[in-house]
Structure 1
Amino acid sequence: MDAIRHITDEDGILSIDFLAGFTVFILALIMVISLVPGFLAGIQSENIDYDAVAYRTSVILVEDPGAPQNPSWNLMGAYDMEHKDDIQRLGLTVSKDTPNILSREKVDKFFNRTPDFTFTAEDYREKVIFGDFTYLYNISLRLETESESYYAVGGDEVPTFQYGYMRRLVKVKEPSVAEINSTRLGPYTGVIDKNITSTSADFAVQIPYDVLINRSVNPAYRIDPQSEQLMINLTGLWSHLNGTDIESMNFTRMGLYKQLDDGSTILIPGLYPWANDTYSLKVNGTAVPATGGSPESVSNSSVITMVLYPPLPFSNEITSVLNVNFNFSYVYANNITDHNYLTGAYQYDYTTNVTQPELVDAVMEVAIW
């Protein structure tokens, strides 16, 4: 009986080893539980992180002009890849003072619409998205024009969950254009004696940098020869000059001249042949040489298009003037009346001579995952 009672008394006692082990287990469990929320918080915040990256990317694109700014990044390696590594940030705005107004030149460069120049996926990650993680992305821009242009880079398939998204309403600054036609050529008509059977003469389009680079003009509407292209369209020349009197009219050559302080001009050398990173020249949509080659016949339907790419020659010299000289030759059919030809200097400025830069509504969308 005593033996039975002794065993029963010992049965409810826990050993010291068991208590120590149980205590260590509880402490370890508490530590593990305290660490779990930290792990879960990192997992649960992924969506917020993607949204933050998408927002930051959209801010860089539509509120920042990018870097470097002088010269602007879109002018670096305009037609080659040589200086692409010097570009630090791919902001698209015209300037830091024009948030949500995008430069057409930068838009074309960013969306790989410039010949022989391409940004890679790594370029976009390093120069606009940033971050240590290898993000996937889709960046698009839809212009609300008559033709509704759409540009996009990145992946086509955006996931249905765990991605960041931003939509921004912006405007794209389109370049200026000098539409020189029969209604604008009145003051630029020369007259020669009816007995002269042929002649040739220059018709100049004058680009005064001091007028264009005017800081009082809002950058959103400023014609900037340092960072934006300028376009010249010549149409309706024959009909303006009374085609019944002209047997033939030919476009013979084009030259770029720097105007000196005394009004004289000098030819700028080294800017030929017809297509390079300075300009392009087309007659009826076909590229032609600026000098040499066969003269191009001009008729009522002829269109001569000249595009000057930024930065224009000597545009860093604010007081300089650039002349674009178009030379035409004429053969006259009769000697009944005095003959007409094109002459003088047409001003590329902020008057009705030039179609001013237009702001086109657009939508920028950024998806990051």
Structure 2
Amino acid sequence: MDFLLGVSLVLIAIGFTVQFVPGIFISSSAGEEKLGYAAYRTSCILTEDPGWWSNSTSSGTGWEEHTGSVQRIGLAADDDVNSRLTETPNMLSKEKLIQFKQLSETEVVRKLGLFDSVKGRQMNYGYNISFLMNGQPLVLDNYTMMRGKPLRPDQNMAKITRVVLLETGNFSVFDGRSLTTDSVNSSHANINFAGPATENLIIQITNFNSDYNAKFVNASINGSTLSSSDYTVLRRHLYGNFSSYSSSSTLLDNDSLYIDFNKDLFPSNKSYQVRLNFHNVTFTQQGPLYSSYGDNIQKIYESAQLVVEVW
């Protein structure tokens, strides 16, 4: 009798195990699949969607300028604010990134779907969204490009990593032979900028009208000569890379000069005139007394990693 009772208990235990243990594993697998899907979906939305805003009268992809009417959060750059799509997935807008950092936690969770519903109750996922350069979170306009919480070392999670191009700033490109000057055959060029500056002022000049032993000498703002510590100068030959420029180096016709001015030099809401002084470089185009920085702006994109972790 005891033997039969023991066998019965063993069979019941085996039956319980057969019935319920697979359910445990299926539940865990389903949970992991949900986390993986949430991480993948979030990475796709952020990198492939420019986002969308709308109200009763208008709509567009420029949600970063209408944060009270956001319908979708997306960070992809948008050339046409009336199109719901981007032609440049994985190229991310600086303005959208900064506004993404400032959105409320509730809005980010809801708009990106970083939650699950359990018996009608919203259960938020833990998450971390980071934009990394050289393994460290990128800083744009004093904002660290990371949202969410740090991941605990023992935490199970789903992780997606994508390589993206991040807009990190702007620079203005000028053809040296087209820069206008305020005097005949001048050796300096004037470039005006409307302050205040929110980022460094970067000027790139190509195609110089240079003579023997041509050089870049120095720069001034509104008549005051700057210290060499106020700006950085790089030079690139026709097919080379940019490298540090020394005042003893000769500029050639097909060189490019890249001058990066500290943004603190332009703190006020007024016009600043940057004068670039050269030796044996001639600017011959007569016209306005200065060129405008804003007329030739191009965006700077740098390679980075988007890392999305969900748990």
Residue 143 in 1 paired to residue 133 in 2?
yes
Instruction: Give the one of 165, 189, 197 matched to 2:159.
Output: 165
Contact 2:165/2:302 (8 A) holds in 1: yes
Q: What CA distance in whole angstroms lies between the structure 2 residues aligned with 1:156 and 1:137?
A: 8
Post-superposition shift, 1:236? 3.3
Contact 2:47/2:75 (8 A) holds in 1: yes
> Does 1 or 2 have the higher relative contact order (CA < 8 Å, sep 6+)?
1
The equivalent of 1:123 in structure 2 is 107
Instruction: Give the one of 75, 80, 92 matched to 2:75.
Output: 92
Instruction: Give the one of 163, 176, 182 matched to 1:189.
Output: 182
Post-superposition shift, 1:93? 0.9
- After TM superposition, the runs of 4+ consecutive aligned structure 1 residues lying more than 4 A away are 29-36, 147-150, 183-186, 229-235, 237-240, 298-301, 344-349
RMSD: 4.7
Contact 2:42/2:112 (8 A) holds in 1: yes
The TM-score, its normalising length taken from structure 2, stands at 0.52
Q: What CA distance in whole angstroms lies between the structure 1 residues aligned with 2:129 and 2:98?
A: 13
The TM-score, its normalising length taken from structure 1, stands at 0.44
Instruction: Give the one of 290, 307, 310 matched to 1:365.
Output: 307
Structure 1 residues 52 and 156, CA gap change in structure 2 (3 angstroms): same
Contact 1:102/1:170 (8 A) holds in 2: yes
- The amino acid that maps onto 1:158 is R
Post-superposition shift, 1:140? 0.5
The equivalent of 1:317 in structure 2 is none
Post-superposition shift, 1:103? 1.0
Q: Structure 1 or 2: larger strand share?
A: 2
Gaps of 5+ in 2: 1-7, 54-58, 79-85, 117-122, 185-190, 204-218, 226-262, 277-285
Q: What CA distance in whole angstroms lies between the structure 1 residues aligned with 2:155 and 2:183?
A: 70
Contact 1:190/1:341 (8 A) holds in 2: no
Q: What CA distance in whole angstroms lies between the structure 2 residues aligned with 1:347 and 1:289?
A: 14
Post-superposition shift, 1:368? 0.7
Post-superposition shift, 1:128? 1.8
- The amino acid that maps onto 1:142 is L
Instruction: Give the one of 252, 273, 286 matched to 2:267.
Output: 286
Structure 1 residues 238 and 190, CA gap change in structure 2 (3 angstroms): farther
Post-superposition shift, 1:355? 5.4
The equivalent of 2:65 in structure 1 is 75
Post-superposition shift, 1:187? 1.7
Contact 2:91/2:164 (8 A) holds in 1: yes
Instruction: Give the one of 34, 43, 47 matched to 1:58.
Output: 43
- Name the SS of the counterpart of 1:45 in structure 2: helix
Q: What CA distance in whole angstroms lies between the structure 2 residues aligned with 1:345 and 1:299?
A: 10
- Name the SS of the counterpart of 2:124 in structure 1: coil
Post-superposition shift, 1:283? 7.7
Q: What CA distance in whole angstroms lies between the structure 1 residues aligned with 2:40 and 2:71?
A: 19
- Name the SS of the counterpart of 1:236 in structure 2: strand
Written as runs of structure 1 = structure 2, the 5 A alignment for 1:244-283 is: none
Gaps of 5+ in 1: 1-21, 78-82, 112-117, 192-202, 206-228, 244-281, 291-295, 302-339
Residue identity (%): 22
Structure 1 residues 288 and 185, CA gap change in structure 2 (3 angstroms): farther
Post-superposition shift, 1:163? 0.9
Q: What CA distance in whole angstroms lies between the structure 2 residues aligned with 1:204 and 1:187?
A: 12
The equivalent of 1:311 in structure 2 is none
- The amino acid that maps onto 1:38 is G
Structure 1 residues 236 and 144, CA gap change in structure 2 (3 angstroms): farther
Q: What CA distance in whole angstroms lies between the structure 1 residues aligned with 2:95 and 2:115?
A: 26
- The amino acid that maps onto 2:289 is T
Q: What CA distance in whole angstroms lies between the structure 1 residues aligned with 2:199 and 2:138?
A: 23
Q: What CA distance in whole angstroms lies between the structure 1 residues aligned with 2:153 and 2:71?
A: 29
Q: What CA distance in whole angstroms lies between the structure 2 residues aligned with 1:346 and 1:289?
A: 14
